[in-house]
Amino acid sequence: MMPRAWPNRRGDASAGSSPDNRLGRPVLLDEMFSGVIAAQLRVRGHDVIAVVEDASLTGLADEQLLAHAAGAGRVLVTANIKDFVPLDQRCKAAGKTHAGIILLSSKAFPQDRSFTGAVTTALDKVLAEALSQADDVTFVHR
């Protein structure tokens, strides 16, 4: 099955996962996501690194992190909606591009005992669904 391209618009993402249909672009998890989530996604066939796994990325300003992800061709996954939505808008207004942003709401994914499993499952579904396009912003819901 050929992966579908994500539309170049903001939208919801949810679909079933298939081991033969993996994200063709690498992913960078923002620092609120653990290395455990990255490891679980790698086991499922995704090219994922977490900020917490690379000391040179920990503590970078949002603009720097997005620029790093863009330079590495990695889609950035973050729960920092309040900062990254305006940052995306500023980038587009300035004619700058990025490799894509995937947003997870902390309301939909509260940091309780189910957080790691819920985030891993949701991201696996989104990443298996389709290839992202540069400058896409995708909201993930449970």
Q: Is the pLDDT of residue 7 over 90?
A: no
Q: Is the pLDDT of residue 18 over 50?
A: no
Average pLDDT over residues 107-115: 92
Residues 6+ apart with CB under 8 A from 20: 1
Can you give the residue range of the structural domain that contains 26?
A: 21-140
Q: Is the pLDDT of residue 130 over 80?
A: no
Number of domains in the chain: 1
What amino acid is encoded at 80 in this protein? N
**C-alpha triplet 54, 99, 85: angle, nearest 5°:** 90
Does residue 60 lie in a domain region? yes
Q: Report the distance separating Cα 138 and Cα 51, nearest Å.
A: 20
Q: Report the distance separating Cα 56 and Cα 118, nearest Å.
A: 28
The 10s digit of each residue's pLDDT in 58-93 is: 999 999 999 999 999 999 999 999 999 999 999 999
Does residue 123 lie in a domain region? yes
Q: Report the distance separating Cα 138 and Cα 7, nearest Å.
A: 9
Residue-wise burial string across 15-37, b where 16 or more C-beta atoms lie within 10 A, e elsewhere:
eebeeebbbebebbbbbbbbeeb
Does residue 127 lie in a domain region? yes
Does residue 9 lie in a domain region? no
